[in-house]
Structure 1
Amino acid sequence: MSKRSRTPDPETASALATQLRAILSKFKRRLREHGGRDDLTPSQISVILRLEKDGAATVSSLARAEAMRPQSMSTIVNSLHDAGLLSGTPDPNDGRKTLMSLTKKCQKRIQESRAAKQDWLSTTIQQKLSAQEQEKLSSALKLLSRLAED
């Protein structure tokens, strides 16, 4: 009796990649639906998440980080500022520049959105998956984590 080869199959990997992208895309949409108001563009969300992660930044440094023209970034930042989600303070190192940061309103909105997504996902896992399926999901998450590593 010969053992079956465990060599990765490129066709299987390609099919898995296709399925995974489709499922993750649908999953992302579902999370967005349950995250509360989603009247922000992907670019606006990206700027907010960058400021949350890296802290206050100038429009030009945000533009570099997001690989876009400063004029385009100014438009995004101005719309977020007008919505009360960003505030600006003079840069202590160069008074001609303004450091943009998240307002309390924005931070509250982020927390509420994350909590709503967490609640929906926790409830959905509990309602739709048995204890054994939840264990399988835990194992699958470890594999997905490995795929996402740099």
Structure 2
Amino acid sequence: MKKPTPPHESNLHIPTLPGDLRVVLGKLLRRLREQGDAGDFSSSQKALIQHLEQHDSATVTGLADALGVRPQSMGATVATLEAGGVLLAAADPNDGRRKRLSLSPAFLASIQAGRAAREDWLHSAVQAKLSAAEQEQLAASVELLQRLISHEQ
């Protein structure tokens, strides 16, 4: 197996690669979004949902601190998501004056169903469009993309 060229020795032969990669990944993301209903959420709502999915529950103040917004702004976001059945509130066991927020079981199920639909579509597309050798290339490129993601400015 050929060893990857160290970054300092890399000579980008294709000057359009960064732009091409951005466009292709954007199209792939759009296609994936079409496959599972992700809902019509604002970026702040999506950030809150992702945080709670990773951390199970939090207070409004904890969410505001974690996401870098004012508690009043977070309160408005929480109220909208609570009204839509996305969030459940329960008394904080350590401080009954506060409430802990978590994603509702129904909403979690819808997230999982959407992910499954997107993964099913992607699996089907890979099987239908790529040869076995191309599937191996794609698998190897995932590790390359992960390295790009970890690059810091």
- Taking structure 2 as the reference length, the TM-score comes to 0.84
**Corresponding position of 2:143:** 142
- Report how far residue 37 of structure 1 moved: 5.0
**Corresponding position of 2:10:** 8
Structure-1 separation of matches of 2:99 and 2:68: 19
**Number of residues paired by the alignment?**
145
- Report how far residue 59 of structure 1 moved: 0.9
Supply the AA of the counterpart residue of 1:62. L
Structure 2 unaligned residues grouped into runs of 5+? none
1:90 aligns with 2:94: no
- Taking structure 1 as the reference length, the TM-score comes to 0.85
Structure-1 separation of matches of 2:56 and 2:14: 39
- Report how far residue 34 of structure 1 moved: 0.9
**Corresponding position of 1:40:** 41
CA contact (8 A) 1:85 1:103 kept: yes
Percent identity reads 42
Provide, for residues 31-74 of structure 1, a one-character-per-residue CA deviation record: whole Å limited to 9, x for no partner. 11111252222322221111011111011111111111212211
**Corresponding position of 2:126:** 125
1:103 aligns with 2:122: no
- Report how far residue 146 of structure 1 moved: 2.1
CA contact (8 A) 1:34 1:120 kept: yes
Provide, for residues 67-111 of structure 1, a one-character-per-residue CA deviation record: whole Å limited to 9, x for no partner. 112122111111111111101011111222110001111111111
Secondary structure of the equivalent of 2:57?
A: coil
Structure 1 unaligned residues grouped into runs of 5+? none
**Corresponding position of 1:21:** 22
- Report how far residue 23 of structure 1 moved: 2.1
Cα root mean square deviation, aligned = 2.2
CA contact (8 A) 1:88 1:98 kept: yes
Structure-2 separation of matches of 1:12 and 1:130: 26
CA contact (8 A) 1:32 1:38 kept: no
CA contact (8 A) 1:35 1:116 kept: yes
Structure-2 separation of matches of 1:81 and 1:91: 16
